[in-house]
Structure 1
């Protein structure tokens, strides 16, 4: 059986953000934070502002997408009295004004965030939240004052991405393999972007809820995929439920609802089944190169088959031994 643990670990090193890229993002993020703090110090007497990183960058599960454009999500938390809460559009306008001169690219005001675009193919997304209490603690969070996201289309919506980060960090503590599996899943969806597969948060939750550890990453990845399939693929298992609920705020929301149309659901579940079938075949193959080709079909050309070194004599010997066993068994 081919063991591709080293190949998967090498793949992880290829797709994850390098230290240089992370440092570049942090530097840009911190500069944006200073712009916003300066704006509030000069223009907002009734409000203060703080920041908390969120998303895959803060959880260390980011990958470098095929498009080459990577990002960081940085939550902007505005503190003030309930009666001084602005409209969501006004809150957005404050942040736009604060960062509009940070780069020579156009600042984009989206429904759920303000985006600062950099010419070096990355951007910083700034979702905006409002809170009425500030404990002056590092985390400034409490169960009775849930942050509200400034959504320009839906108004102020309860949302606590930092709680999700804490949930993930607790689940992934001392489990580097789990973080690698999340990256493998993201790389797979990136390679299959034309299928419009579920988002990274969905696969992060599914990976945590169905993680199966193994000393080899290829086996852990396959066994986790199989566990995910058993939990959500109701077209193959009558006990499965096509559901992925948030573990934190709004725990009743099924994040797979937006992928539940007949076409999108079929595309997702068929793609998952195809990945699993190829993984099973790869695990059983004796040739590492042949096994690698099975995974590469789904994970993309970045999956490093060209670096595999195989002892042709040992491989030939393995085939000979298997054939002899098969022959002996048949004779008996």
Structure 2
């Protein structure tokens, strides 16, 4: 049993199964069919976006929920419609469909599904219009605002972002390894950050930096993960001192310039200064922890360290069936130096 095989088993444990994907697909179809059946609803196309569309989904842990982002591309002109009114229509049509009512949020309308008294799934219906309703090649606009007085249309490029991520991964030296590394970091993020507020760094930020920082490491997911974590760490820069004299750290990362989003933009902009400092501290701890694993020659001890980082789904092999010393053990040999 090698460390690499343990990483691959971990990936199988955390990646969404076909059954889970099918269940999410079915819930999407039920909602979109109900919306289309309403005579008050403008014509729209729909598709999945986010991690579901980029094949980077990870099973939730503890009290977290499965989630799916659904783009609703309405064939309407942005200039002729109020974004809040469109979201209000969606919420009205779906009211009473479930045990919980739809909730209008800033970028979407959310439907939450309860099982055994706990939230198990939520679907975010992300609403878009077009600059020209006669052409689905024209500029898309995202419906912003959770209240009427906050409503605005914002330039967006949801399909472009999906295509960018999928193409960049497909063009990588080892697309499967890159996807695994992103999943590892998404599971780590879920375990180490609170889901409340904006303290948790956005998955899109980690994904985009991973696309840039990934280096192919044949048969060595540990090294590939170290390189990506190091790339995230290197995106931080010193940002002065707080009132107690502690150094503050900031991270910023724009959406790809080739895409048609509102500019300037920053995927980490919702994180406060304190939250970004916490993110920096946890990334440093993660990097140090992974390097400690790399410097550990005993596979059992390596897996024990990785279990503390990635949680109980990272299994510790049976000592009786394991050669405890890694045959390919090379301490401190990351690409990053």
Q: Tell whether the structures are fold-level matches, with TM greater than 0.5.
A: yes
| 2:4 corresponding residue in structure 1 | 5
| 1:192 corresponding residue in structure 2 | 192
| 1:205 corresponding residue in structure 2 | 208
| 1:22 corresponding residue in structure 2 | 21
Go from structure 1 to structure 2 and tell me whether the alpha carbon gap of 1:111 and 1:304 turns closer, same or farther (over 3 Å shift).
same
- Is 1:149 the counterpart of 2:143? The answer is yes
1:54/1:75 contact within 8 Å kept: yes
| 2:332 corresponding residue in structure 1 | none
Post-superposition Cα deviations, 1:60-96, rounded to whole Å, max 9, x if no partner, equal 11111212411111011211245632x2221112111
Larger Rg, first or second structure (1 or 2): 1
CA distance, structure 1, for counterparts of residue 49 and residue 158 of structure 2: 6
2:141/2:156 contact within 8 Å kept: yes
Go from structure 1 to structure 2 and tell me whether the alpha carbon gap of 1:79 and 1:150 turns closer, same or farther (over 3 Å shift).
farther
- 1:1-332 correspondence runs (5 A): 3-39=2-38, 42-44=39-41, 47-66=42-61, 67-81=63-77, 84-85=80-81, 87-120=82-115, 121-134=120-133, 140-142=136-138, 145-152=139-146, 153-173=150-170, 175-194=175-194, 196-215=199-218, 216-234=220-238, 242-247=251-256, 248=259, 249-259=261-271, 261=273, 263-305=274-316, 307-309=317-319, 315=324
Corresponding residue SS for 1:257: coil
CA distance, structure 2, for counterparts of residue 315 and residue 49 of structure 1: 57
Structure 1: stretches of 5+ with no match in the other structure: 319-332
Go from structure 1 to structure 2 and tell me whether the alpha carbon gap of 1:271 and 1:194 turns closer, same or farther (over 3 Å shift).
same
TM-score (norm 1): 0.82
Structure 2: stretches of 5+ with no match in the other structure: 240-248, 328-337
CA distance, structure 1, for counterparts of residue 167 and residue 224 of structure 2: 20
Corresponding residue SS for 2:312: coil
TM-score (norm 2): 0.80
CA distance, structure 2, for counterparts of residue 20 and residue 207 of structure 1: 27
When you count strand as a share of all residues, which structure comes out higher? 2
When you count helix as a share of all residues, which structure comes out higher? 1
RMSD, matched Cα: 2.7
Aligned length: 301
